[in-house]
Amino acid sequence: MTRTYVLDAPVFIYGFQVSGNMYTVPEVTRELKSSESAIALQEFLKEGLKIESPLKTDVEIITEKAKSTGDYLRLSQADIDLLAKALELSGTLVTDDYSIQNVAALFGIETQPIQQARIKRVLKWRRRCVGCGRLYESEAICPVCGSDVKVKPVKR
C-alpha cells in the first residue's frame, strides 16, 4: 500500500526525499522564498505532488484543539492547514516543527521529522507574565505590571 505524505516547507528547502502520494497546502508554497526551494517544488510537482487546500471542517477541528493546548499561539496558518490536510488524508506529516508535531500527536497523526528529533512528549502552553506571573489569554504586555507576556509550557 502506498503511503500518503503531507509536506511542510522544509521538505522543499532542504531537498528531503519522499516517495508515495505527496500533498502540500497553498500556504506552504507561499513560504518558499529561495530559488532552490522553488526548483525543488517544481521537481516534486513533476513527481506527482498535489497542492490542495484542506477542508474547512478539518481546519476548524485543528484550530479548536490547538487553542485548547495553547499551541494555537505558536502555529501559522500554513501549520494549521498542514495539520488539517494530514487529518483529512490520514497521512504522515513530514515536518520538523515541534508545535505541529505536538498537535499531530493529539490527533494520532503520524509525523516524520526531517532534520530535527521527534518530540518526546506532548506539551500544553499558556501565556504568563514574566514580571508578576499572571496568566492571560491573548495579551502581549501585562496590563498590571507592564512586563512582557510570554508563551510558556505548563509544568506537569
| Tens digits of pLDDT across the chain (156 residues) | 789 999 999 999 988 889 899 999 999 999 999 999 999 999 999 999 999 999 999 999 999 988 877 788 789 999 999 999 999 999 999 998 888 998 998 899 999 998 776 666 666 767 788 889 888 776 778 888 988 888 777 665
pLDDT of amino acid 149: 84
Q: Which domain holds residue 134?
A: 124-156
- In the chain, the amino acid numbered 47 is E
The residue with cell 505558536 is 74
Q: How many domains is the chain built from?
A: 2
Asked if residues 102 and 119 have their Cβ atoms less than 8 Å apart, the reply is yes
Tell me what pLDDT residue 71 has.
80
Q: Which three cell numbers stand for residue 52?
A: 490542495
Supply the pLDDT for residue 144.
Answer: 87
- Would strands 4-7 and 21-24 be described as parallel, antiparallel, or unpaired? parallel
Q: Residue 136: inside a domain, yes or no? A: yes
Q: What is the pLDDT of residue 45?
A: 96
pLDDT at 121: 63
Structural domain contains residue 16: yes
Indicate if 13 and 80 belong to the same structural domain.
yes
pLDDT of residue 87: 97
Question: Around Cβ 15, how many Cβ atoms within 10 Å?
Answer: 14
SS3 64: helix
Does residue 119 form part of some domain? no
Q: What is the pLDDT of residue 69?
A: 76
Backbone φ and ψ of 83, nearest 5°: -60, -45
Return all residues near 95 (Cβ < 8 A) that are at least 6 apart.
8, 10, 82, 101, 111, 112, 113, 114
Residue 118 within any structural domain of the chain: no
Q: Are residues 82 and 104 in the same domain?
A: yes
Give alpha helix (H) positions in the chain.
9-14, 26-31, 35-46, 56-69, 77-89, 98-107
Beta bridge partners of 153: 125
Same domain, 30 and 70: yes
